[in-house]
Amino acid sequence: MNQTSITLVGNAVTDVTIGATPNGIEYSTFRLATTTRRFDRGIGQWIDGDTSYVRITCWRKLARHVAESISKGDPVIVAGALKVREWANEDRRGVSVEVDATSVGHDLARGVSVFTRAAKRDFAGDDSVLADETSPAPAFVEQAVA
């Protein structure tokens, strides 16, 4: 299976929400803002570029860990599979940008974090972090694109 892998660095701009698919598979989601930056030698300063907002979806044990670890405003690094989806309803059409995360962590270039190892019994042997092919992804409606 081909997929586009991506690593994003940014800030959580929403609190993490948690849920489960009809099959009982846990997931969590949050939105990440990431802003491009470039150094302007003429003025000797970093200049902010455009900001992109991406929905991050985590599955199974990663979903639980993210829900307990990440809060709105936290600087984070996310690695996962990029998904760009077109959507439409009666009134609007748009595009959503999402990442099915395989790893999420605090950006330690911007602060200090304390790690707590999860107890193995909490996961009943489930080491998987991604949804399986039969698990429907959560349905999200993103901001409309004109």
Running along the chain, 146 residues long, what does each successive block of 10 average in pLDDT?
A: 88 96 94 94 93 96 95 96 92 93 94 82 52 49 38
Check the CA dihedral 63-80-125-134 and report its sign. positive
Q: What angle do CA 12, 112, 117 make, to 5 degrees?
A: 85
Tokens representing 81 are 């599979």
pTM of this prediction exceeds 0.85: no
Q: What is the pLDDT of residue 145?
A: 38
Is residue 61 within 8 Å of 123, Cβ to Cβ?
A: yes
Q: What domains appear along the chain, each with residue ranges and CATH number?
A: 4-123 (2.40.50.140)
